[in-house]
Structure 1
Amino acid sequence: MHMHFVWVKFISNTPKCKSTVSPWYRSIPPVNSLILTVGTSPYTGFHYALEGGTTPPLQDVARAVANKIKSALPGWLGGGSTENMVANPEPIIRSETLSMRNGIYDSQRLGTFVAISPDRRLAALADNLGRVAVLDVNSGYIIRLFKGYRDAQCAFVQIFDTDSKKPQLTSIKEIRRAIFLIIYNPKKGLIDIRLMQRGTRVAVFTATKNGQLLYNSCGLVGAEKNYNHKKLNMPEFQCVLIDPDGKLKKFNIPFYYSLEGEHLQRSKDLHVLREIREIMKKEQLLSEESKNEIIQKATNFKTLEIRKHCMDLFIRNTNMPSDVLTSCLEIFWESVEKESLNSQVQETKNYFAKLALLIFFFRNINDDACVGMEGIVEKVCEDLKLTHTKNETNEEDETCRAFHLLEDDSCILERLLILAQENNFKEYQPRVSFVDNNTSSYKEFMSYFVFDKTSEVITLKPDIAAEKLDNLAANIFKSIIKLKDFSNLTNVVRESHIDSKEIVKLVITHVMNMSLDEINIELIENIIEILFYLCKVTEDATNINYNDISPWWQNIRDLLVEMRCPLKSMIVAMACKAVASLFEGKTTGREDAWESVTKENAKWGLLIGKLEDISVLSITLMFKGTFKGKTLPKLSVEDFNINLKYIYTRGKGSVTELIAKWLCSMGVLPEAIIANELVDLYSETDIDTDDESSESAQLFLVNSRAYVDDNQNLFKWLSLLRRQFPLSTLADYIIANMCWEYAINWQKSMQANENIKAVLHCLKHISNLHLRLGLFSIIWSTYIKHSFELTCRLVNKVGKLPKDHLCLQDLGFNSEHLKSFLQVVTQYLRDFHVCSTTAIDQEKKVIKYEKIWDESMPSLVEVAQDVKNVDNDILNLNYQISCTIYYQCHFNVKFPKALDTLFDMDYQYLIEALVGNIAQRDINMKPSGKMVNPRMKFLTKLIRAAIDTITCVNSDEANLLYNNEDCLLWMENITTLAELWNVNENFVKHQYVVGLYHMGYDTLAQTVVGSVADPEMLLVPIVAITIQRLKRNLEKCKNQPEWIVTVPPQLYKRLQNTTLDVSIPANPSLTTTMVILQILLSQVDKKMSTETSTNFQNIHLAELIVETCEVLIRRNLG
């Protein structure tokens, strides 16, 4: 870090002088450029040029500024003209003198030439005395001096120990390098190359006289933006020689010239390896001359490592001829045998051995003549002490042996193939790229196998990617199937010492990747024959004891369980069973073996049976139809790619779950599923029709049979599944899983309330009440409870229907969806409560599944049926809470803190207690006294809001007609809530009649007023409303004086003392008013006498009003 100081002085009137120091820091030191020169006095000089040059003195700066101001004054004062001004001459750039710090002095020596090495550490100096001196630039010492080079031209060449001429910048520090000095004598035409690390002469040879040595130490300058800067920026040719005739000649110096001993030999081998690579790059198809040259160069390798690299190079090359590869491999093997044995030699030996065996196998399965391979294979087996005996096959046995499926398996396969063709079965097909054998030779094939010295057989690598494994399987199967005689496979695999199980797995893998259109009986028989001869290689597959299970074949069965397509897994299992039976025929010839099925055969039969079931399921799930008639919401499901392992791991309910998803994707109704089950049940067995349950089932079938008849294609597949899985396809099990699927999809999109409605629809059709009750509880606690709790909290806080932005913020859906959600939840809790009260009388049914699963996690049906029963009182209170906020939001009734005001207990506790997440408290269903008035007030608002839903269809007085269906429905709901709240039913009827009479719906009020239990209490509000009606009638009367005279004085005085209520209809009917009062008075007379009544004044007033109305009607004043 350098610090520059600028001294600034200020002169004032005082005799004192003030000065300040202003330091300025820079992040890097000033750059000093070293310039090396040769000549005389000194012979070599070190000159330095400082960055920025010298700073002009302060006087020069002040003078320059003053001149500028002076020349600009005329223009500022307006007395000058730019036209008369003469342009200033260009300033003269002052040259800088280089300062020489030191030098090398020799009065008799004159330097004529200097060359700097690429790393700037060395310099070659030529002089007039025929010497070439090498200078260490950093220290300033001459470290080498070579004589006898008059008029010499010098250059440096930097060589890296790597294949690339320009190594990566990230690894440049880790790569070894060497610097060579090239000295050219133009008069003699000699070129001398010396290594600078030791100064030794590497090579000297003659060249053209009077040439010119060009030395370039700079890389690419002015490169484009797409130039790769990650590599070292070096010139393409560091040094070239120009002949007098203009030809350019480059220098090729191998790196090994800089090494000694073992490193020298390795470097020489690397150089030869590069030459072989260059030959292979130049020619795509090698000529005979190139082949011989490569083989000749391969004999020159001395190090084991380079021999191994050379074989790797041959294997990676897609165009390497087999004869060259074999010849080089034999050369390397013979050279390795001559080496003294150690760990490295043994490892390389093992590598070459496994390589030879793999090449032998590869060439044989590709039907390539293995001329010259037998010798090296025998040497390898002899050296590694591997058995090398060919299997002598019995021709008579081979000719009489038949390779075909067993009879029972053939019938099963034919049936399933017909089903697959009928349903256009298209299973998952992986992408397999079939590579031509010529292009895939050795390159990828060798990379898939393990070259492990500890194993006696060659195996595949365990971490091969699935796509690469599929390609390898495709190439090997394609090669084997082209062979004319499959019986040679046994000898080929045995001599190659490749694990036959690996080849069997590859064959199976390719069969799994084939489409069903390619699979036929002929191909299956070929597969059986191929598997038979592959299995003959090992005794583990051929020696099958009568009462034992073969571990070898068990491993193949475990592999088939995990395969993707169950149908093709079944085909392979049938082929393997046929092969195993051929081997059993030779080993199970015991006289005392009276059983017809061995353990091994039984294992194959069980596996094929399970694969048959899963194949039928897989084929069925591919059916995509349209359900005709009323449907449930159609759920989007992914394609069903199932196998036996999937069914095993997912447990007992996996088949039912898949069928439920399949049916939900088409929106099939639960009624149709039950009807199909009943149709199958009645067609299979004779059922006693006298039983009550049978009669109800037949009635249900009559009402729902149309669904089955209209969708025969769909239910044909469902009936097929019922025959394969009679327990997993019970209607209750399927519908229970459909409930779960719709609940899951509702949680994903809560705005789709149709899904939760579908849950309710499905739950109603589950006949097992304990299963239904358990599903009610599980679905509530898992999916609905949280949203319901948030909704209650929001509505209770707002006191009415929340605005859209509040709903979206807290719930994720708008206010309209909130009302729809509350409607469904209220219905859900109502059905939940009904089911909870009725399920107690029914015994639990035993849940059964097929014996595919030995042990597994419990299914949804098992979990649901074992759910602990909920507390009916808590469930009842949750239903009341749901009704309260639903009715409040539906009518948008403003009632602050409704859940806190209308219930004795905290609503949040009640919601948590329903799912058992909190300690239970004692609950009293009878409300306290302080709840009565708030509840009556709330019910009154709901009744008035329900009456507002009435619409007038015909306004003619003679034929008045109203649409009150919604009102009656809501009055039924309000009455139910009042009963749950222990509010008297008469209160609801009173408020209903008063509301109807208040709004002018007299004809509707007439139908209800007669059923009122306490007419005397109802008379008070009816009379008050009637007074308002008379006041409105007076306003509308055209002859008001006569109207006033007609009305009795005490009644008119009552009218004058009453304030007008504008909510009363403007044109009241005196006729209907009189009728309602007469009905009410007659009810009062029946209940009690007028004299004993405490409300006799209102009764007399009502009678007076009736008489007045009759007079007004008679005089046409009403």
Structure 2
Amino acid sequence: MKLNSSFSKLIVHCLSSDTSYYRYRSVPPVNTLILGAGVKPYVGFHYALEGGTAPPLQDVARAVANKIKSALPGWLGGGSTENTTVGNEPLIRSEGLSMRNGLFDGQRTGNSVAVSPDRRLAAIVDSLGRVAVLDVTRGHLIRLFKGCRDAQCAFVQIFEMEDKKPKLSIVKDLKRAIFLIIYNPKKGLIDIRIMQKGNRVAAFTATKNGLLLYNTCGLVGAVKNYTYKKINLPEFQCVLMDPDGTLKKFNIPFFYALEGEYSQRSKDLHVLRDLRVYLRKSPMDSEDFVEELIKKVTELKTLDLKKHCLDMLVRKYEISPKIVMTCLSLLWVSIENEELTDQLIEIKNYFANLALATLFFRHMNGENVDDMRDLVTKVHSYKNLYTEVSEETEAEKAEIDENTETPCFELLEDDNCILERLLSLAKEINYKEQHARVTFAVNNTSAYKEFLSCFNLDSKDECIRLKSETTTDQMNTLASSTFKSIFKLNDVTLLSNFVRECNMDPKEIVKLLIMQVMNMPLQDINLELIEKLIQVLYFLCNIIEDATQIAYNETSPWWQDVRDVLVDMPCPLRSMIVAMACKAVSRIFEIKCQEIDDTLWESVTKENAKWGMLIGKLEDISILSIILMFKDSFGENALPKLQMTDFNINLKYIYTRGNGSVTELIAKWLCSMGVIPEAIITNELFDKYAGVDLETHFDNSEDDHDYIYMMNNRSYVDDNPEIFKWLSLLRLQFPLSTSSNYIIANMCWEYSIAWQKSMQSCELLSTVNHCLKSISDLHIRLGLYSIIWFTYIKHVFEASCRLVNKVGRLPKDPLCLQDVGFDSTVMIKFLEIVTTYLGEFLECSQMSISHDKANIQYEQIWDESTPSLVEVAQDNKRVNNDILNLNYQLSCTVYYMCHFNVKVSKPLDSLYDIDYQYIFDSLIDSKHTREINMRPSEKLRNPRFKFITKLIRCAVDTITTTDEFGSPEYNCGECVPWIEKITILAELWSIDIDFVRRQQVIALYHLGYDSLADRIITLIKEPEVLVPPILAITTQRFKRSLEQSSNQPEWIVTMPPHLYKRLQNVALDTSIPAHPSLTTTKMVLNSLLYQVDQKENCSASPQDLKALELFMDNCDVLISYKLH
């Protein structure tokens, strides 16, 4: 305890030693009071001064001399420091404390001291078995407890608020209480006393030989933010540690420190605690169980604890409803005549709702409720007084019953036919759903507890309603039990009286019945159950004026709420069944209200129209949900199958997803079976021309495109009859949403999403191309090309192009995986598909679309909704054809490079003079698009010529030969398509096709494919350009012929001197075939010379032409002498 006042300072120094040398300071030093227990004195008050006392000068000198003396032997070398014994001096020097005063008792020895958290009290345990409580501030012993030998003490500080660590800003204003805990380890007893008066609060046994751990310190080193917000108290001020190491904390209510009203509350808490112990230990089937329970309940005096007691009996212990109501009757009597306050009104409202909810539960379970009559009468009287609920007299009820005819509880005829058709459809398609798993209570008592837990008994509403936070499992269990209880009633007509008497909200009971129908297996729903449901709904709604009083040609708000509930239900088929039942009930009430003829009702009321519209929509969605459960596999040429997610298809889902939601679901269903677009279009055409003689119809028509298409693809429909049987049925229900263009457009989107999730599977992206080509509406197709490109493909394509441009060739697998996400093999396939995609995109964009945009229509299910995929695609902004053309050129360049593994340094920079990033980003027309000259600059001509030449040579390398019958056969199956692709790129680059043909002839002649080269020479417009390269290759051929000749001298003699000199002046090219055919060589040279002669104003060199003629003549000589 710190003493900082000036008065305390003067007293301390007057009583201390050496006061003659003391010099007064204006600021008092810090004095810390240390409380000690021991012998003489029994309790001492010691003080520690700030800074301590300075040692005398001679002590300092003596210490220095001793240090020097001990170090001399080591300095002089005559001794060893290893043998010197070092004294165990403490690291921190002890300091004597001055004792100001104390409590002296010669026979008593203090063993331990425990100081309270507020430092005002201290508990001293002595050797005589006493515990003394000391007022530290005054130094007085204020309490002395006997019989506490070897005791352990601790204090616990409790605040009035629930938070055991209150904020510092309010801690001074809070009430607090100090409790002393005395633990006797030998006897295992714990004594808890309140320090205000010293009264015993509690005494109970604990484990022997334990240890009472007392902690008065909070967090050491806590940050300022923490101490600023809340008081820094320990998490547990006191715990008891058992010999086995178990820690037990003390939980002391604050009310034990209070008096008066709070003292009564404290007694009630004791009663509740005893009641809990009694309920845990006593068997419920004992004879005196009920009497003892009632006795303890009647002892409660505090209002909120009475409510807590009832709540505890219901929710924590399985007490039967009859016993609970007995307790409630006694508690109601105890508060019946008290003056009403806000708290009492709240408690009475809870008691009344609990009684009425219990009454309804017992009614539903067929129990005898005579024991509750008095209580229910009092509750009704209270409800009438404060909620102003009026009830009809018995005479009025009897009069109404006499004048009322029993209505006919059955479905309308049209609804009955619709229901039979849908049930047979569900049976045919083996319609199954996952139903909610309902857990039933083990006994009636447990069911009672679960029943009450679902209702809001504290609410002040006119009727008892369900809790909004009730879980789905609880609602399903309650719905199941309520449904079974109501349907087991011997007299359903009593249901109206039960609901009215128990003040239950009929709409909540209707919701529970609807929920149970949603959870029932479809095979359990039959006509008998539906008629019973109509009867139950009638007697439930009979007591509600909003449900029964339906104005002529007006919509009932009550029934509109029921329709809203049905829209949210998960199963449209079961929702339709309930809607039909509700429609029948509403019909009965409307006929009674309007007193009109039964046959005129359906045609004149708005309420009937509302039900008809809802049932029609539910019928459509039911057919959709049933058919989408059908699973099959498409036959030949099927598309990749996608995994279809199990959707909770209901009317709310269709409403929420908006226009196109039905089309989207059908597209997902078809994708899951791998149905190809051609089959969907063919099926639509067959449905379109159903009932028409196709041959007769198309013979009289000029346009037979549909007929040809149907005949070419009808095998797909014929081989998969089940799939297209259900698709045709969907087309009957949704004629607008099932347009083939709409469905195929959504299939494109589904396959695009699937490819994005699994980019390794390029087959999915190829399927997108396949589906897009099948869309006949060019506006929709062009829009989808653009949307899919920007959403899924562009960023991957851009990353691939950047990587190839950086590497200059096909990247290795690690680089591909790092930058793109797939290996080099997949990259080649991806670039191939993207090149095809951009080519078809460009072709579609360049088409002259003559027809206007079609009006996209859907069924009248949605009033307002977000636009569908097809609408977005049709309204999509047109792309810039020049930029699209450049994207296509980039794709061709990168794809051809990677396919043939051609190495080109920075191809996107060296082959294009436009920034490729601009090409990627400017596909859609915008205000910032700059003008682009599609004709390349002159500096690009040579790099592009070299690139085209490399590609042609690689394409020619793909040719394979076979020589089975003496003449070579060439396999050009791969070369020809590649030459066509290269030709397209050359045309896009404004390179003359004649250049491509010339390079193709040179490559073919160079590799020895002379017959193929001879065919192309005839197509060349400028044959004179071919003369130099053909002459060079011919020279190499003759040099190879000389090398391979068996009679070289004779071979040399046959050659003209200047030709032989030409051969000697060139180096041998080993890429020329080793055994060139002189016959085919002569054929190629002859064709070339002929083409040159046919052209006027030929610019070829005469020397080169003369050399070719000489080579051609020498071929004949070598052949005649058989020197080749």
2:994 aligns with one of 986, 989, 997 = 986
1:999-1057 Cα shifts (integer Å, max 9, x gaps) = 11112222222333333332222122111111111111111111111111121111112
2:873 counterpart of 1:867: no
Alpha-carbon contact 2:411-2:584 (below 8 Å) kept: yes
2:781 maps to what in 1?
772
1:622 maps to what in 2?
629
2:276 maps to what in 1?
277
2:431 maps to what in 1?
425
1:1078 aligns with one of 1086, 1090, 1103 = 1086
1:869-922 Cα shifts (integer Å, max 9, x gaps) = 333333333322222222222212222233333334333323323223562333
- The CA distance in 1 between the partners of 2:618 and 2:919, in whole Å, is 50
Residues 969, 140 of structure 1: alpha-carbon distance in 2 compared, 3 angstrom cutoff: same
- The CA distance in 2 between the partners of 1:237 and 1:1005, in whole Å, is 103
SS in 2 for 1:689: helix
1:995 aligns with one of 987, 1003, 1007 = 1003
- Structure 1 gaps, min length 5: 3-28, 50-55, 68-72, 78-95, 185-191, 205-211, 222-228, 239-251
Offset at residue 418 of structure 1 (A): 1.8
The code of the aligned residue for 2:972 comes to N
1:362 maps to what in 2?
361
1:417-462 Cα shifts (integer Å, max 9, x gaps) = 2222222222242333222452434433333323456422222222
- Structure 2 gaps, min length 5: 3-29, 49-61, 74-78, 84-93, 185-190, 215-233, 244-250
2:1029 aligns with one of 1015, 1021, 1027 = 1021
1:721-745 Cα shifts (integer Å, max 9, x gaps) = 1111011001111001111111122
Residues 667, 914 of structure 1: alpha-carbon distance in 2 compared, 3 angstrom cutoff: same
- The CA distance in 2 between the partners of 1:465 and 1:1011, in whole Å, is 82
- The CA distance in 2 between the partners of 1:556 and 1:336, in whole Å, is 40
Q: How does 1:906-1055 map to 2 (within 5 A)?
A: 906-916=915-925, 919-954=928-963, 958-1055=966-1063
Alpha-carbon contact 1:621-1:640 (below 8 Å) kept: no
Residues 819, 111 of structure 1: alpha-carbon distance in 2 compared, 3 angstrom cutoff: closer
1:716 aligns with one of 722, 725, 741 = 725
2:22 maps to what in 1?
none
Offset at residue 362 of structure 1 (A): 1.7
Offset at residue 253 of structure 1 (A): 12
SS in 1 for 2:970: strand
The code of the aligned residue for 1:658 comes to L
2:767 counterpart of 1:746: no
1:681 maps to what in 2?
688
Q: How does 1:443-458 map to 2 (within 5 A)?
A: 443-452=449-458, 454-458=460-464
2:769 aligns with one of 760, 772, 776 = 760
The code of the aligned residue for 2:359 comes to F
- The CA distance in 1 between the partners of 2:830 and 2:206, in whole Å, is 92
2:308 counterpart of 1:314: no
1:831-874 Cα shifts (integer Å, max 9, x gaps) = 12222233422333221111111221221112212223333333
- The CA distance in 2 between the partners of 1:932 and 1:765, in whole Å, is 39
Alpha-carbon contact 2:783-2:875 (below 8 Å) kept: yes
Q: How does 1:690-729 map to 2 (within 5 A)?
A: 690=699, 695-729=704-738
- The CA distance in 2 between the partners of 1:793 and 1:256, in whole Å, is 76
Larger mean CA deviation between 368-377 and 428-437 belongs to: 428-437
2:1101 aligns with one of 1089, 1095, 1099 = 1095
Offset at residue 32 of structure 1 (A): 11
SS in 1 for 2:961: strand
- The CA distance in 2 between the partners of 1:586 and 1:117, in whole Å, is 84
| TM-score (norm: length of structure 1) | 0.83
- The CA distance in 1 between the partners of 2:835 and 2:104, in whole Å, is 112
- The CA distance in 2 between the partners of 1:35 and 1:641, in whole Å, is 76
1:53 maps to what in 2?
none
Residues 717, 118 of structure 1: alpha-carbon distance in 2 compared, 3 angstrom cutoff: farther
Alpha-carbon contact 1:427-1:565 (below 8 Å) kept: no
Alpha-carbon contact 1:111-1:125 (below 8 Å) kept: no
2:273 counterpart of 1:265: no
**What is the number of equivalent residue pairs in this alignment?**
1029
Residues 171, 480 of structure 1: alpha-carbon distance in 2 compared, 3 angstrom cutoff: farther
SS in 2 for 1:1013: coil
1:661-701 Cα shifts (integer Å, max 9, x gaps) = 11111111001111111222222456731476752211111
Alpha-carbon contact 1:566-1:643 (below 8 Å) kept: yes
Residues 110, 183 of structure 1: alpha-carbon distance in 2 compared, 3 angstrom cutoff: farther
2:40 counterpart of 1:36: no
Offset at residue 527 of structure 1 (A): 1.9
1:64-86 Cα shifts (integer Å, max 9, x gaps) = 9999xxxxx99x99xxxxxxxxx
2:1110 aligns with one of 1104, 1112, 1115 = 1104
Larger mean CA deviation between 544-553 and 504-513 belongs to: 504-513
Q: How does 1:836-875 map to 2 (within 5 A)?
A: 836-875=845-884
Alpha-carbon contact 1:126-1:151 (below 8 Å) kept: no
- The CA distance in 1 between the partners of 2:1006 and 2:238, in whole Å, is 99
2:533 maps to what in 1?
527
1:781 maps to what in 2?
790
SS in 1 for 2:310: helix
2:1064 maps to what in 1?
1056
- The CA distance in 2 between the partners of 1:464 and 1:947, in whole Å, is 75
Residues 1105, 592 of structure 1: alpha-carbon distance in 2 compared, 3 angstrom cutoff: closer
1:351-379 Cα shifts (integer Å, max 9, x gaps) = 21222221212221122211221212221
Q: How does 1:406-417 map to 2 (within 5 A)?
A: 406-417=412-423
1:243-286 Cα shifts (integer Å, max 9, x gaps) = xxxxxxxxx99997754211111111211222222221112425
SS in 2 for 1:894: coil
Residues 64, 284 of structure 1: alpha-carbon distance in 2 compared, 3 angstrom cutoff: farther
Offset at residue 180 of structure 1 (A): 7.7
Residues 1044, 201 of structure 1: alpha-carbon distance in 2 compared, 3 angstrom cutoff: closer
Q: How does 1:380-779 map to 2 (within 5 A)?
A: 380-385=379-384, 386-389=389-392, 392=397, 400-452=406-458, 454-590=460-596, 596-597=602-603, 598-685=605-692, 688-690=697-699, 695-779=704-788
2:799 aligns with one of 790, 794, 809 = 790
- The CA distance in 2 between the partners of 1:446 and 1:758, in whole Å, is 57
- The CA distance in 2 between the partners of 1:1043 and 1:132, in whole Å, is 137
Residues 115, 689 of structure 1: alpha-carbon distance in 2 compared, 3 angstrom cutoff: same
Alpha-carbon contact 2:576-2:618 (below 8 Å) kept: yes
- The CA distance in 1 between the partners of 2:1120 and 2:183, in whole Å, is 145
% identical aligned pairs: 51
SS in 2 for 1:578: helix
2:820 aligns with one of 805, 811, 816 = 811
Alpha-carbon contact 1:770-1:865 (below 8 Å) kept: yes
Offset at residue 532 of structure 1 (A): 1.4
SS in 2 for 1:384: helix
Alpha-carbon contact 1:156-1:179 (below 8 Å) kept: no
Alpha-carbon contact 2:320-2:445 (below 8 Å) kept: no
The code of the aligned residue for 1:429 comes to H
The code of the aligned residue for 1:660 comes to A
Offset at residue 782 of structure 1 (A): 2.1
2:52 maps to what in 1?
none
1:898 maps to what in 2?
907
1:136 maps to what in 2?
134
Offset at residue 643 of structure 1 (A): 0.8
Offset at residue 411 of structure 1 (A): 1.6
Alpha-carbon contact 1:562-1:644 (below 8 Å) kept: yes
- The CA distance in 2 between the partners of 1:814 and 1:570, in whole Å, is 53
Residues 66, 485 of structure 1: alpha-carbon distance in 2 compared, 3 angstrom cutoff: farther
- The CA distance in 2 between the partners of 1:973 and 1:106, in whole Å, is 115
SS in 2 for 1:455: coil
Alpha-carbon contact 2:912-2:940 (below 8 Å) kept: yes
2:329 counterpart of 1:330: yes
Residues 572, 1070 of structure 1: alpha-carbon distance in 2 compared, 3 angstrom cutoff: same
SS in 1 for 2:690: helix
Residues 544, 686 of structure 1: alpha-carbon distance in 2 compared, 3 angstrom cutoff: farther
Alignment RMSD (CA, Å)? 4.5
- The CA distance in 2 between the partners of 1:858 and 1:395, in whole Å, is 55
- The CA distance in 1 between the partners of 2:912 and 2:112, in whole Å, is 102
2:293 maps to what in 1?
294
